[in-house]
Each structure stands twice: as C-alpha cells, then as structure tokens.
Amino acid sequence: MAIPSKWAIHQIFDIYLFDLATGKNLGYLTDLKQASFTQEAETVYVTGGKGNPKLVPFDHSKVAKIECQSALYENEFAGTILGSTPVAAASTSIMIPEVVTVTSNVATTTYTATGDTNDEIKFAYVRNSDGSLGTAITQAEVASSGYFTYTPGTKTLAFNSGDYEDDTEIVVFYNPTTTSDTVTITSYTDQFSESVKVVAAGLARDTCTNLDYAIQIIFYQGKITNGFNLELTADGEPAVHNFSVEALKSCSSKKLFDIIIYDENTLV
C-alpha cells in the first residue's frame, strides 16, 4: 500500500535517546502519559504608511520541541538529564531511622552503623510516649550519664547503668551499607543535561483505509531540559517525569528535524 498523504495520529510516542558521539542509548522510554511536538518561529514585519500596516515579513529563530510526561522514571535517562552516569555499587550514604528497645542497659540495631569510630550513630533519642523525640544522648568512647557507646561488631548500644529501664524505646538514625547492586544517580554543580539524538516513535493512521503506518520524528541533535522533578502528594497520583527536548541544528546539515512515515511490513 502507498504511504498515505493524509493521516491521523493518536498513539503516544516511545522516546529513544542516543549519545551524539558514540550512538549509545541514553534513554528508552516506553511509558509516556503525554507528549506534544511543536514547531515555532519568530516573525518580524516591515511596517509603515497610513495606518502603519504590516508590509513585508521576515522569519527567523525556528525552534522545534518535544515535551513529554513519562509515567515512570528510568535510571539511564535520569542520569542523562542530571549530566552523570548511574553508578551500581555498595553505598553507606542512605540514612535509616530505627526504634530499638533497652534490655539490661543494652539495645541492638538491625543493621551495622557505619562511620568513624565512636561516631557511627552520633546521637540517640529517648522516644516519648507520643512517639516524638525526647532527650538526646551522645555517642562516646565510654558510657556515662547522657552518653552511650556503640560496637559495630555486635551492633549494640550500651548505656550508663541504671539510666534507662528495660523496654525504654530509643530512636537512632544511622548509615548502614547497601548491597553492591545499589544504583546512585548524582547531580553535580558543574555538570548539566546532554545534547542527544532523539527519536519519537508512534503510529499514523491512513484516513481512507484506516491502515496504520509507523511514524518517527527525529531530532538529529537536541538539548534536553535540565529540569528534574518529583511531585508527590499523600492522596494524589504517583509522580510523573516531565521533560522536554529542543531541536538544534546539527553539524552535518541544516535539518532541524525529520518526520518519517513508513510501512513496517515492507522494511528490508
């Protein structure tokens, strides 16, 4: 069948991003909620005469942009926006809170707290009956009134004898060690989102035959927004990932973008 000259488009795009130098994929987004593609340009006019009408137009500054809302976040793409590469490695950066219970002047953490010797936990807090934090207790080398010790090998906090009755609840905050498959994505002050090749893939439907054809919009060079947002509410929908890519003139041609309509069944 001939490629249609009139077509409708409805299905949401898939977005693929590629490194300009290496061709490596930097994002494979297949769960978009919304996508919009726009082209605009500035127009200025020569004006004059009675009534000062517009006489001659001059166009400049053509821009094209794809704005998207993804239902899911994707590690590699998040790194592309933040200007860094996701790193898979064990980490001691996460902070967890835990309520431990005193028994015979000792309490035990679930995980091993990390940090400098005699400073792994820093502070512990007596838990009030309403759940709030009460008196602060400081970690030290020797347990005494108002001070406790922590032994990483046994994960135990030792308190001054007689300071706390059995079943007293103590709140601690500390850094355990995560597993080696932990992913860390970092935003640095001097690194920004990348310029990439962008492919937006969807479906176009022939208005006469109702047959579907593949359509791709290609930015051979595009600048990704630096924005990264997590909008969370207690009773709302899950956070979505909003981002946009603006087309740039590539080094090899004057193309801003291509729209390509093709029949997937005739690919060779």
130 & 251 share domain: no
200 & 255 share domain: yes
What CATH number does the domain containing 249 carry? 2.30.110
Task: State the number of CA atoms in the 13 A half-sphere of 184 facing the CB.
Answer: 14
Tell me, yes or no, whether 1 lies in a domain: no
Q: Give the pLDDT of residue 231.
A: 86
Q: What is the DSSP letter of 207?
A: T
Q: Give the pLDDT of residue 4.
A: 86
Q: Which amino acid is at 243?
A: F
Q: Give the pLDDT of residue 227.
A: 87
149 & 191 share domain: no
164 & 120 share domain: yes
Mean pLDDT, residues 30-49: 95
148 & 212 share domain: no
- Helix (DSSP H) and strand (DSSP E) numbers for the chain: 1, 18
Q: Give the pLDDT of residue 1.
A: 65
Q: Give the pLDDT of residue 252.
A: 82
Whole-structure pTM value: 0.81
Tokens for 114, please give them: 């990390």
Domain count, the chain: 2
Tell me, yes or no, whether 180 lies in a domain: no
For the chain, percent helix, then strand, then coil, each to nearest 5? 5, 45, 50
Choose the weakest-confidence range: 38-47, 192-201, 248-257.
248-257
| 30: confidence class by pLDDT, cuts 50, 70, 90 | very high
Type and span of the H or E element at 189? none
- How far from chain centre, in Å, is Cα 206? 37
pLDDT digits (tens, 9 = 90+) for 123-180: 999 999 999 999 999 999 999 999 999 999 999 999 999 999 999 999 999 999 999 9
Residue 240 has pLDDT above 70, yes or no: yes
Residues 6+ apart with CB under 8 A from 255: 220, 249
Query: Range of 64's domain?
Result: 7-86+185-266
The DSSP line for 107-171 is EE-SS---SSTT-SS-EEEEEPTTS-EEEEEEE-SS-BTTEEEEETTTTEEEE-TTSS-TT-EEE
pLDDT digits (tens, 9 = 90+) for 178-216: 999 999 999 999 999 989 999 999 999 999 999 999 999
- Final residue before a domain boundary, out of 153, 174, 195: 174
d(C-alpha 135, C-alpha 158), whole Å: 16
Tell me, yes or no, whether 67 lies in a domain: yes
